[in-house]
Structure 1
């Protein structure tokens, strides 16, 4: 059995699901794409190549093996995108919570059945249908659960709005002893530089008390200030609009001192090293063309 345990983003990682780019399928049509960044690359003819993405994910897999992390991979579904493991489910404490994802993506969860079978059935939670919540919007910080949402009245019209207020309420009810704080995120169907698809596109904690943040990812300045006050202004790395677009806040922590980051994030990686982090640099620029990066393609199951 797997003894699930995840209470924050940075404790020592022991077991993780890493998505796969094998048999990723053809380049989608514009109608089939879920986010503005993918659409941008489909139009430009620069949509990522499967072989390149497989290579990028293997670089991450090699880092996990270096640090002795147990890695689970999804069962391969032919011609199907299974890169973003974080969207389909997530762990809070000892609970494995299935996401009500876009209907086209249901099979992704089926491809993890061999993992789910190792979890105590009483720890598996499937929210009711009205609850929309994806793992990229759920961020754990010990006593806190931060949740990205979208409060605009046009929520149903936004395919980029993935977590609703019912999702926030559901987590509050499930974890009454936690401080659950939701953040109203900026969304755009047409401009990837103004679209915080998930909370981890504009914020993520690193280490014990630091974080990476993008101010304009939040629709309300008070939400942004909440995090600045909580973490302390000097403990945050402030990313630009282009750095947000390139997914600089979407790194992944192996522990409080080790961060996997994209090799081209020079400014961020320099800052992390100046704060005594070990930065494991990997190439992930091709995967980022689908508006997801390191955190999006991993789902932690066990942290110390």
Structure 2
């Protein structure tokens, strides 16, 4: 398999879509990985497996409708494998294995049949002290956008998933890219004050547009740099509630075609106004785990 991912929006040819089968049910509150999951555990509204299965099958049907080759992970019993984006990512023609939370380490084994089809010279393992998850990594042509957290209290945040060492390692591994990192706002307890990954507060869409939430960024100048890169007129600003709802976490099949949650009325209307076709699905249950459409997809090949 010849990998190719140079941006977030080129025509998608092959993707790994996670699975909600045998996802282990509601975790203990102490085992929650993020504040939004914790909120729903406490409220008794944590999503049921059958509902998440139905939501993910909607996405599988849309992908297949447009001729995308869809791979699924091998099912591990009683294990959450929904968010395939986190376990690895493709930059150009290289598959990078992510260094994720230790409790999630088995997830990469479940896509070994895909990895085994790759040229060994095109897979990259970063050093163990380089923490990184795919939700924080976005190829964008000559740029590589990377969400991170630079605070000295990094280890205090279970929501801090990509460290500055990983940013440095990615720059070294891809010297042809301009690696631009963004210091993200983190909270273990307040989901509306937590940008779990870069794609929870920002995502390019179409040929020149972007979705962004200002408060997700700790550094004003880094937020402004993105706005200027895309142009103020091309940026769709979302508020705290919309970030909480995961509005920036849609998924592009092509510059003219996206999968989005039907709940995102304002965004979907804006996208259609820009000539982008929106395939709507219901992802409200999966959203309760602080992840959405981009989080549950791992693109392997784009044109």
Tell me, yes or no, whether TM beats 0.5. yes
> Superposition pairs for residues 216-231 of structure 1, below 5 Å?
216-231=215-230
> Superposition pairs for residues 1-304 of structure 1, below 5 Å?
2-304=1-303
User: Which string of whole-angstrom CA distances, capped at 9 and with x for unpartnered residues, describes residues 2-38 of structure 1?
Assistant: 1000000000000000000011112100111100000
RMSD: 0.5
**Structure 1 residues not aligned, in runs of 5+:** none
CA contact (8 A) 2:132 2:161 kept: yes
Structure 1 residue 289 displacement after superposition: 0.2
Structure 1 moving runs of 4+ over 4 Å: none
Question: How far apart, in 2, do the equivalents of 1:277 and 1:209 lie?
Answer: 12
Structure 1 residue 152 displacement after superposition: 1.0
Question: How far apart, in 2, do the equivalents of 1:25 and 1:52 lie?
Answer: 14
SS of 2:6's partner is coil
Structure 1 residue 136 displacement after superposition: 0.2
User: Which string of whole-angstrom CA distances, capped at 9 and with x for unpartnered residues, describes residues 124-161 of structure 1?
Assistant: 11111110111000011111100000011100111100
CA contact (8 A) 2:25 2:48 kept: no
SS of 2:67's partner is coil
SS of 2:301's partner is strand
SS of 2:254's partner is coil
**Structure 2 residues not aligned, in runs of 5+:** none
TM-score, with normalisation over the residues of structure 1? 0.99
Question: How far apart, in 2, do the equivalents of 1:268 and 1:102 lie?
Answer: 32
SS of 1:111's partner is helix
Question: How far apart, in 2, do the equivalents of 1:151 and 1:101 lie?
Answer: 17
